[in-house]
């Protein structure tokens, strides 16, 4: 992102929210939450990196020597400490929390923090109370700024372009994992920082498994091939799915495709400011149910995307979040006939002041390659 | 892996260990622990998948409809339930734990389980006690079977071969991320299931940051380029690092390289059955310290590898694990001069009855490309 003031400004907003929620500090291990507020990105590791953002006072990052320079180079946070090798981490953690007067405080941790790190915090401050960062940070992270949408648009374009390039290679005799390799390569060469989830290339009957991944199956004529791919840009994720048909399409597969296509279209049309997000799911589910395929639509219609590949809002029945401009999420109805085939169409969209804008631009029409 | 009996047999061994440790059930969310015992692999998700392995009685997997067929297709476990959409998950979880008579039991969860899932379990069984699976499963997972070593050797070869192929492309004018793209592509095309960590291509001064990742820096003549790459095969990881020199090597860089090389060699020679693993770290540290670079060796000398990219044994001072045949770990001393350059050499080795065997075969000599 470059500009450190963005992260610092988010921190100020988070502190205000902490005041409202009675939270004394955020205790973040490596996670999108940590990146969102500090600019420092790494994956969680058994070597604990901990960022403490007290409501009052300066934030602090404690890490291993290995990461010291990197934290200083990428984050706006000036207080960077290194775990001593002489004292047990447990004792150091307690000393730090005592110094910051947090031993009896209300501390918020990410929902996805590893249990072992959560336990280290709890054991160091047995009188503290713990809550999740989500009530502080979700309301912020769920609304993307113009800059965030730009990064996500770029991530979506990386996936669009890679799909465009790989289409001519989807043919008889190719193996699933070869297509995955090609798609990932195309995205990486144009600047993707990596795949935010296991690339899916599911051909023939494998396409009936929504999260199959990819294997060594060879593609045959008539196969549907579901490609579910994503890129990362500026740490923001994209996520798109197309089911292509190799050669001629069977009538049943065509019928299913057209049903999913219409469900996708109806879902898009349900995207309006102020509606509850379950309305989008219901719109897709209605089309598929009316065509008799309801029992084969075995997942929700979408999920928020951002620094996490899955984040709020979740587009499912029972989700009463009201749509606001700046929410970014997938629309991805699918039908899966066990042992036979599956079809899914997935785009990333951003909600706007009067509807939506597609970040994924690739055409959705039935495509025989 | 194919053969389901391997997973079932591991389960039987785990149950014996549970008896010794007084653990009533393992409660596993998606993780290497879950794969190790069930054969089902997926990444953790906000949609909870839970495998319960009671000490007495049959194991059970509860998942979302999305994964039902996939669990049945890949795991030996026959009891597969799907979360109902009508009842709250919390209530269902409680009902399941009650049915299995685990509400007041001692339950073991993976150390890296997400807090939100750990909390769901604790809230459903407030009278249960919780411990980590590591005391049950670490002693099993730390000793690799011949089959596991074979898979890891294959994963190591994928990285070896990719490095060999990419070497001729490491030259002036190329960008770091382009090399990362190429290396990942080569590994994927030969069967790697994906990179088990962010591929590192750190050139020039970036090589002084051990976990830099890769960026858009263009490589210049005289640069050191550190490539830290890994493949996955049969879900087992590999991990290797080489620092190549582009063009002619500067005298100081050469001196550092030779120091790291000797440290690596000494570390290898310290690998003997029955020694404490810290001896390996001390051997590397002695060489680097004697040459006056001690303060620039800012990480441990290695880590276990397996289904996790970092797992026990950790090769560091204070680690008193005794080496046994079948332990697989990295040996990876490094020297990092801030703002200037860094050098690291990393291989995966398996401890044997009389020493060690390298799984990484790529030469370690100073290589100018």
**Per-residue pLDDT tens for B299-356?**
999 999 999 999 999 999 999 999 999 999 999 999 999 999 999 999 999 999 999 9
Mean pLDDT of chain A: 97
Q: Helix, strand, coil % (nearest 5) of chain B?
A: 40, 20, 40
d(CA B253, CA B40): 46
- Is A43 an interface residue toward B (CB < 8 Å)? yes
Task: Name the residue of chain A whose CA is nearest to B295's CA.
Answer: A65
Is pTM beyond 0.90? Reply is yes
Contact B281, B317 (CB under 8 A): yes
Of the candidates A225, A1, A32, which has an alpha carbon nearest to the alpha carbon of residue A138? A32
- State how far residue B171 is from chain A, nearest Cα, in angstroms: 17
Domains, chain A, in order of start with CATH, read: 4-141 (3.40.350.10), 146-358 (3.90.230.10)
**Per-residue pLDDT tens for A186-222?**
999 999 999 999 999 999 999 999 999 999 999 999 9
Instruction: Provide, as residue numbers in chain A, all residues whose Cβ is less than 8 Å from the Cβ of B83.
Output: none
Dihedral of the CA atoms B115, B117, B118, B124 (nearest 10)?
Answer: 140
Of the candidates B232, B213, B211, which has an alpha carbon nearest to the alpha carbon of residue B305? B232
Helix (H) or strand (E) holding B195: none
CB atoms within 10 A of CB B296: 18
Contact A26, A18 (CB under 8 A): yes
Q: Is residue A13 predicted with pLDDT exceeding 50?
A: yes
Contact A33, A17 (CB under 8 A): no
**Per-residue pLDDT tens for B212-256?**
999 999 999 999 999 999 999 999 999 999 999 999 999 999 999
Confidence (pLDDT) at A2: 52
Confidence (pLDDT) at A85: 82
Of the candidates B310, B318, B287, which has an alpha carbon nearest to the alpha carbon of residue B230? B310
First to last CA, chain A: 38
Confidence (pLDDT) at B86: 84
Q: Is residue A178 predicted with pLDDT exceeding 80?
A: yes
Cα B294 to Cα B268, B287, B289, B300, distances in angstroms = 19, 9, 4, 12
- Is B33 an interface residue toward A (CB < 8 Å)? no
What average pLDDT does range A288-313 have in this prediction? 98
Confidence (pLDDT) at B330: 98
Helix (H) or strand (E) holding B70: helix B65-74
d(CA B274, CA B55): 32
Mean pLDDT of chain B: 97
Considering only CB atoms, A115 lies closest to which of B109, B210, B212, namely B109
Q: Give me A225's structure tokens.
A: 């091939």
Contact A163, A227 (CB under 8 A): yes
Q: Give me B332's structure tokens.
A: 């990876």
Q: Is residue A3 predicted with pLDDT exceeding 80?
A: no
- Is B209 an interface residue toward A (CB < 8 Å)? yes
- Is B12 an interface residue toward A (CB < 8 Å)? no
CB atoms within 10 A of CB A61: 24
pLDDT confidence bin for A273, thresholds 50/70/90: very high
- Is B175 an interface residue toward A (CB < 8 Å)? no
Considering only CB atoms, B66 lies closest to which of A45, A114, A211, namely A211
What average pLDDT does range B114-120 have in this prediction? 96
Exposed/middle/buried for B17, CB within 10 Å: 0-12, 13-18, 19+?
middle
Contact (CB<8Å) A189/B180? no
Q: Give me A347's structure tokens.
A: 């785009």
Confidence (pLDDT) at A134: 96
**Beta-bridge mates of residue B52:** B27, B60
Whether omega before A325 lies within 30 degrees of 0, making that bond cis, reads: no
Mode of pairing for the β-strands spanning A200-203 and A224-229? antiparallel
Instruction: Provide, as residue numbers in chain B, all residues whose Cβ is less than 8 Å from the Cβ of A132.
Output: 115-116
Confidence (pLDDT) at A70: 92
Q: Which of A65-74, A276-285, B155-164, B175-184 has the lowest mean pLDDT?
A: A65-74
**Per-residue pLDDT tens for B123-145?**
999 999 999 999 999 999 999 99
- State how far residue A354 is from chain B, nearest Cα, in angstroms: 30
Contact B163, B240 (CB under 8 A): yes
DSSP A112-181: T-BHHHHHHHHHH-TTSEEEETHHHHHHHHTS--HHHHHHHHHHHHHHHHHHHHHGGG--TT-BHHHHHH
- State how far residue B238 is from chain A, nearest Cα, in angstroms: 17
What average pLDDT does range A121-137 have in this prediction? 97
Exposed/middle/buried for A171, CB within 10 Å: 0-12, 13-18, 19+?
middle
Which residues between 313 and 332 in chain A have a beta carbon less than 8 angstroms from any beta carbon of chain B? 314, 317
**Per-residue pLDDT tens for B75-108?**
999 999 999 988 889 999 999 999 999 999 999 9
Q: In what order do the strands lie in the sheet with B328-331?
A: B311-315, B302-304, B328-331, B347-351, B356-358
Q: Is residue B297 predicted with pLDDT exceeding 80?
A: yes
Considering only CB atoms, A338 lies closest to which of B69, B185, B211, namely B69
Q: So what's the ipTM on this one?
A: 0.94
d(CA B50, CA B61): 6
What average pLDDT does range A174-191 have in this prediction? 98
Interhelix angle for B134-141 vs B4-21, to 10°?
130
CB atoms within 10 A of CB B68: 17
Considering only CB atoms, A189 lies closest to which of B116, B181, B193, namely B181
Dihedral of the CA atoms A162, A167, A171, A175 (nearest 10)?
Answer: 10
Confidence (pLDDT) at A1: 47
What average pLDDT does range A76-103 have in this prediction? 94
Q: Give me B131's structure tokens.
A: 């411990």
Considering only CB atoms, A115 lies closest to which of B67, B118, B210, namely B118
Instruction: Provide, as residue numbers in chain A, all residues whose Cβ is less than 8 Å from the Cβ of B216.
Output: 191
Confidence (pLDDT) at B1: 47
């Amino acid at each position: 992102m470059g500009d450190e003031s963005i992260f610092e400004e988010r921190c100020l907003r988070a502190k205000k929210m902490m005041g409202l929620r009675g939270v004394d500090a955020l205790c973040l291990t490596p996670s999108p939450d940590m990146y969102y507020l500090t600019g420092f990105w790494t994956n969680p590791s058994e070597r604990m990196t901990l960022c403490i953002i007290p409501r009052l006072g300066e934030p602090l990052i404690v890490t291993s020597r290995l990461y010291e320079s990197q934290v200083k180079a990428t984050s706006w946070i000036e207080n960077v400490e290194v775990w001593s090798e002489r004292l047990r981490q447990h004792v150091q953690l307690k000393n730090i929390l005592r110094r910051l007067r947090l031993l009896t405080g209300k501390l918020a941790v990410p929902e996805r923090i590893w249990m072992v790190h959560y336990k280290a915090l709890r054991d160091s401050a047995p009188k503290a109370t713990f809550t999740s960062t989500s009530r502080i940070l979700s309301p912020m992270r769920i609304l993307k700024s113009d800059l965030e949408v730009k990064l996500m648009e770029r991530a979506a374009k990386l996936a669009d372009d890679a799909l465009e390039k790989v289409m001519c290679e989807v043919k008889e005799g190719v193996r699933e994992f070869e297509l995955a390799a090609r798609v990932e390569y195309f995205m990486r060469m144009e600047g993707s920082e990596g795949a935010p989830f296991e690339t899916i290339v599911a051909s023939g009957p494998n396409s009936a498994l929504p999260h199959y991944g990819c294997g060594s199956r060879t593609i045959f004529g008539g196969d549907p091939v579901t490609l579910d791919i994503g890129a990362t840009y500026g740490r923001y994720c994209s996520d798109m799915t197309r089911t292509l048909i190799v050669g001629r399409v069977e009538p049943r597969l065509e019928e299913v495709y057209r049903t999913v296509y219409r469900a996708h279209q109806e879902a898009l049309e349900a995207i309006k400011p102020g509606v509850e997000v379950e309305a989008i799911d219901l719109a897709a589910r209605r089309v598929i149910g009316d065509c008799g395929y309801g029992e084969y639509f075995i997942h929700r219609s979408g999920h928020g995307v951002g620094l996490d590949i899955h984040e709020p809002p979740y587009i499912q029945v029972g989700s009463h979040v009201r749509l606001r401009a700046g929410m970014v999420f997938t629309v991805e109805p699918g039908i899966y006939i066990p042992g036979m085939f599956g079809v899914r169409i997935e785009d990333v969209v951003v909600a706007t002041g009067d509807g939506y804008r597609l970040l994924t631009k690739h055409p959705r029409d039935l495509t025989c390659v």
